[in-house]
Amino acid sequence: MWNYIIRRTLYNIPVFLAIVLVVMAALRVTDPVSAHLGKNASEEQIRLKTESFGLDDPFYVQYGRFLVQIVTFDFDDVRSWDQDRPVGTMILDSIPPSIAVMGPTLLITATIAICVGLVSAFNRGKAPDKVLMFVAVIGMSISVLVYIILGQYFGAFLPKQESGAWPFEVAVDASAAGGRGFFFHPKNWVAYCMLPVMINVVVALGYDTRFYRAVMVEETTRDYIRTARAKGASRSRVMFVHMLKNALIPIITRIMISLPFVVTGSILIEVFFNIPGMGRTLINAINSKDFPVIQTFTALFAALFIASNILTDVLYALADPRVRLS
Amino acid sequence: MRNAARRMVGVLAVVGAGWMGGVAHAGAVFEGAKDEAGAMKVLQLPIRTDGPKSLDPVKGSTTYDNMACAQFYETLMTNSYADPMSFEPLLLAEQPVSEDGGLTWRFKLKDGVYFHDNACFPNGEGREIRTEDVFYSLKRLADDQYELENWWLLKDTIKGFDEYKDEQNKAAEFDYDAPVSGFRKINDKEFEIELKQPVYRFLYILGMFQTSVVPREAVEYYGEDFGFNPVGTGPFILDSWVPKQSLTANVNPNYHPVFYPGRDEWTREDRRNRLHRAAGERVPFVDRIEFTMFPEDQPMWLQFSLGQLGYSQVPEDYFLEAFDKASLELKEEMLEKGVRAQSNRLLDFIFRGFNMEDELLGGYSEEKKALRQAIALAIDLEEINQTFYNGRTIVYDGPIPPGLRGHPEDGRSEAAYRGPNLPLARQKLAQAGYPNGEGLPAIRFYTSQTTLNVEMAEMVKRQLEKINVRFEAIFMDFSSLIEAINKKKAPMFGFAWASDYPDGENNLALFYGPNESPGSNHFNYKRDGFDEMYERILTMGPSEERDAIYEEMRDMVLEDVPYVGSQARQRFYVINPWLINCKPTERYYGWFKYLDVDDSKR
């Protein structure tokens, strides 16, 4: 297996290098310094900023320098133009809040959606299936923004206004300046993360449920299901042992596609709930044309997706012995 | 790791020094103000958008940098809280004086002003400010290590300073001890600054947060991280700053004596709002201040509605929830909660400009002027105001916003070509050689790509169609728009200017020939008479004579129509009943120290 992982990693290196190359070239199509400094920047200011970030060096030198930073994960010398602090610190500060929200979201969504998918598939065409899918379609049809705005209003503001004592806060406030572990403290997690997680779960549930139902429906038509039922296996055993095991490949695919988002965060949720995660940091950087942050985050996200692809292949083999890692 | 350790040492030193400082500055110690029960008074405030980018004044430029820095640092001069359009000494003992008509200014620092206790000082004890700190702080603006973000403030202003900047930036190391011929130390508390020529705005610049006084020890001690470790003379000491998230600060126990404005300084309306109740009392009143940044309006508005924030700007989407549209008065349900309202006129100049060098739209001949006048007469700014701003912007003539000298009475000037006046617009169009719009190519209007701009451009297009003028809007991202304007490629463009300081001179500078693109004169307006008058007003203090020149310049611009405008926004604030002494202003941000909280009303 380790041979396979190393081989796949090596295969993906050119892909990653190409992504970085494209990202770096795209970010330099228009002058990033002028875009960041705005309308009143003098030529001298533009020159100083260009020199300080080495943007006056030949492209291949910049490319090489950036690759070294990625390989060594040393972004401490790269300072954000907008926040004047090392990009490495920004990454390390932003990852924990995103994990605090997106980790539980992924776990809860996958668990509920798989169960609902199983129930729905086993009751295909019957009332429970129709009701569940109707709810799922309704859920999918509503904009994420609506869930967030209504969730924040009815899930935090209104009960808090009515009763005063309510566990969820409208948004993260100044009292939450408690370091990287702050959002993992149970009390803080409930106050600031639980409502965003619930909203995220509701948003994701519609899509995931329909996907898992489709997977399970396909499995219910397989011969091994009929055989299992003929041998007298109970309905729940067939569902949760036989079928679930055989449906693991698409389940792994679906979960692994979502895995990078645990780190990259959910932009809208983080912005509305003031959660200082990766998504919010990236959107801030884009809005302020913070070139060093955008470049670094994009490369990091690319690396995350490549890593999750490799991990997905490994999990396929673990889940299904027929898949050979060769 | 080393930085973290150093910060930890710093924190311990501050805590320790705070205790020891109580002994060292026993005479100067100010304990802040506890409420009657002796509990800590904590003030929670919002920062709309994502807050400051640095707490180093020399790197700051935005409103939010200003808002944050003003809590930790102070300037020689500042705006008055009771009347933010006027200036008063802050770190100075008295108003600066000049005996040679504004060429040389003499300053005297206030006694008993100490920097925050901090690990950068021996024994962690903040020392008293002195002349060298002022010179050092101004010299930082010239150091290209800080990318000269705010050099424009002092460029071509102080004798020998530009030469000093060039020499030092060429040298291997920037020497802060090298002399500047315009800086003259008299003693530790008194100094003179000689200017290249008398420039009145120099005093305004000394009130801008970028010129705040910082101690050299702190800059050298913290190095690159100075922006995260503010050490000033301000009323608060940084407790924590999570960029884009929150900023908290505790009261500076050694804050120098500053007093709440006297009763007679407040207007009658302010007194009716009980703003004078703390008259003459020593500030600050609160022990701790907590800012939360809100890039989105909904959470800010909801937290304000829950009483968790002292005040809030009223976001556009929530305006009708708080105010009656017709009367602009607070709604009954808000009044029942004890919420109060304040509004501020911003020093805005929102306009649609013409490139005066453009072949079609530029030029100063009667025909060329008539074309621009026709366009101005066809555009209905009031319709734009009602449709897109709920009638809350102030439409006015001339480039000088309301509240400043040179602004026309009631916002109207006889020299203006304000629309809608379609018969006159058609007449002017004919004078321009395009009767009924015939033969006139489409007007190309460059603006940034936002939903609001797209909709507004549609309205302008419809308004101009009434005189058969074709209007073609070109939308682009902001940086491309700037590039097009700077390269004089945009025949007509949408833009805005917010005054740097409360003086019409700042807006008239937008039409000064030598400031042409890529400078701030995006119109590329060049008029001999105008430029000479501008050079004259630079050296003049407020006076009736100067006002008359402002008006003449304003009317000259109005006659030539290098832009269609103007509009200024009004900002509406709502204030929760537990926040007292609150009169929000955006002219400066050193006013949080005057705020007080009444926790019994939370």
- For chain B (602 residues), the mean pLDDT of every run of 10, in chain order, is 37 35 36 56 90 90 90 97 93 94 94 97 96 98 90 92 96 95 97 92 92 97 94 96 91 97 94 93 96 91 95 90 88 94 91 96 96 97 91 94 93 94 96 95 92 93 96 86 87 90 92 89 94 91 93 96 94 96 93 96 88
Q: State the Rg of chain B over Cα.
A: 26
Cβ atoms < 10 Å from Cβ of A72: 8
Tokens 């449906």 sit at which residue?
A: A247
For an interface test with B, the pick among A269, A274, A281, A284 (most B C-beta atoms closer than 10 Å) comes out as A274
Q: Which helix (H) or strand (E) segment is B16 a member of?
A: helix B2-24
A271 to B295: CB separation less than 8 angstroms, yes or no: yes
d(CA A203, CA B348): 42
In this structure, are residues A286 and A294 in contact, taking their beta carbons and an 8 Å threshold?
Answer: yes
C-alpha A315: how far from chain center: 19
CA A302 to chain B, closest CA, distance in angstroms equals 25
Q: Which helix (H) or strand (E) segment is B370 a member of?
A: helix B366-378
In this structure, are residues B495 and B485 in contact, taking their beta carbons and an 8 Å threshold?
Answer: yes
Taking CA–CA distances from A36, the nearest residue in chain B reads B479
pLDDT at A75: 83
Identify all chain A residues contacting B59, using CB atoms and an 8 Å cutoff. 84
d(CA B88, CA B203): 10
Tokens found for residue B392 = 């809350």
Helix A2-27 with A291-319: angle, nearest 10 deg: 160
Tokens found for residue B326 = 């017709």
pLDDT at B7: 36
The architecture of the domain spanning B2-271 is: 3-Layer(aba) Sandwich (3.40)
pLDDT at B475: 92
Cβ atoms < 10 Å from Cβ of B27: 6
| B499: amino acid identity, one letter | S
pLDDT at B483: 79
In this structure, are residues B367 and B432 in contact, taking their beta carbons and an 8 Å threshold?
Answer: yes
Dump pLDDT digits (tens) for A187-226: 999 999 999 999 999 999 988 999 999 999 888 888 998 8
Residue A163 has pLDDT above 90, yes or no: no
3-state secondary structure chain A: CHHHHHHHHHHHHHHHHHHHHHHHHHHCCCCHHHHHHCCCCCHHHHHHHHHHCCCCCCHHHHHHHHHHHHHHCCCCCCECCCCCCEHHHHHHHHHHHHHHHHHHHHHHHHHHHHHHHHHHHHCCCCHHHHHHHHHHHHHHHCCHHHHHHHHHHHHHHHHHHHHCCCCCCCCCCHHHCCCCCHHHCHHHHHHHHHHHHHHHHHHHHHHHHHHHHHHHHHHHCCHHHHHHHHCCCCHHHHHHHHHHHHCHHHHHHHHHHHHHHHHHCCHHHHHHCCCCCHHHHHHHHHHCCCHHHHHHHHHHHHHHHHHHHHHHHHHHHHHCCCCCCC
The helix/strand count (H/E) of chain B reads as 18, 22
Q: Which CATH class is domain A92-277?
A: mainly alpha
Identify all chain B residues contacting A29, using CB atoms and an 8 Å cutoff. none
Tokens found for residue B573 = 């604030």
For an interface test with A, the pick among B8, B42, B49, B53 (most A C-beta atoms closer than 10 Å) comes out as B53
| B195: amino acid identity, one letter | L
d(CA B377, CA B420): 5
In this structure, are residues B413 and B556 in contact, taking their beta carbons and an 8 Å threshold?
Answer: no
User: What average pLDDT does range A260-273 have in this prediction?
Assistant: 85
Tokens 């309905």 sit at which residue?
A: A235
d(CA A170, CA A152): 6
Taking CA–CA distances from A269, the nearest residue in chain B reads B296
Residues of chain B with CATH 3.40.190.10: 2-271
In this structure, are residues A113 and A126 in contact, taking their beta carbons and an 8 Å threshold?
Answer: no
3-state helix, strand, coil in chain B (%, to 5): 35, 20, 45
Tokens found for residue B180 = 């500047």
Tokens found for residue A174 = 């100044």
CA dihedral B87, B91, B92, B93 (to 10 degrees): 110
d(CA B220, CA A271): 36
Tokens 């929102």 sit at which residue?
A: B350
C-alpha closest to that of B225 among B7, B536, B469:
B7
d(CA B400, CA B487): 26
Q: Quick one: B435 exposed, middle or buried, by C-beta within 10 A (0-12, 13-18, 19+)?
A: middle
User: Beta B183-185 vs B190-194: how paired, if at all?
Assistant: antiparallel
* Length in residues, chain B: 602
Residues of chain B with CATH 3.10.105.10: 348-568
A173 to B296: CB separation less than 8 angstroms, yes or no: no
Q: Which residues contact B597 (CB under 8 A, 6 or more apart)?
A: B41, B42, B43, B285, B286, B310, B578, B579, B580
Cβ atoms < 10 Å from Cβ of B21: 22
Tokens found for residue B451 = 């939903």
Identify all chain B residues contacting A82, using CB atoms and an 8 Å cutoff. 53
CA B550 to chain A, closest CA, distance in angstroms equals 24
Dump pLDDT digits (tens) for A53-63: 888 899 999 99
Cβ atoms < 10 Å from Cβ of A12: 18
Residue B311, helix vs strand vs coil: strand
CA B213 to chain A, closest CA, distance in angstroms equals 20
pLDDT at A318: 83
pLDDT at A324: 67
d(CA B546, CA B559): 20
In this structure, are residues B397 and B566 in contact, taking their beta carbons and an 8 Å threshold?
Answer: yes
Of residues A45, A177, A273, nearest to B242 (C-beta): A177
A174 to B244: CB separation less than 8 angstroms, yes or no: no
Sign of CA dihedral B288, B291, B292, B297: positive
Identify all chain A residues contacting B245, using CB atoms and an 8 Å cutoff. 172, 176-177, 274, 276
Taking CA–CA distances from A282, the nearest residue in chain B reads B244
In this structure, are residues B540 and B203 in contact, taking their beta carbons and an 8 Å threshold?
Answer: no
d(CA B590, CA B73): 9
Tokens 């602090």 sit at which residue?
A: A85
Taking CA–CA distances from B51, the nearest residue in chain A reads A83
Q: Quick one: A230 exposed, middle or buried, by C-beta within 10 A (0-12, 13-18, 19+)?
A: exposed
Identify all chain B residues contacting A271, using CB atoms and an 8 Å cutoff. 295-296
Q: Would residue B217 be called left, alpha or beta, if left means φ above 0 and alpha means ψ between -120 and 50 degrees? A: alpha
Tokens 């290209």 sit at which residue?
A: B144
What percent of chain A shows pLDDT beyond 70?
Answer: 98
Domain extents in chain A: 1-72+290-326, 92-277
A35 to B479: CB separation less than 8 angstroms, yes or no: yes
Dump pLDDT digits (tens) for A107-124: 999 999 999 998 898 888
CATH superfamily of B348-568: Dipeptide-binding Protein; Domain 3 (3.10.105.10)
C-alpha closest to that of B319 among B309, B331, B333:
B331
Of residues A48, A149, A171, nearest to B147 (C-beta): A48
Q: Can you list the alpha helix ranges (DSSP code H) found in B174-324?
A: 202-205, 216-222, 268-272, 297-305, 319-322
Q: State the Rg of chain A over Cα.
A: 24
d(CA A216, CA A236): 14
Q: Which helix (H) or strand (E) segment is B253 a member of?
A: none
d(CA A155, CA B220): 49
Burial B119-141 (b: 16+ CB within 10 A, else e): bbbeebbbebbbbbbbbbbbbbb
Taking CA–CA distances from B227, the nearest residue in chain A reads A84
Of residues B246, B294, B299, nearest to A177 (C-beta): B246
Prediction pTM value: 0.82
C-alpha closest to that of B326 among B402, B390, B395:
B390
Number of Cα atoms under 13 Å in the Cβ half of residue A260: 18
Angle at the Cα of B309 (from B305 to B310), degrees rounded to 5?
Answer: 110
β-partners of residue B46 are B292
β-partners of residue B492 are B354, B445
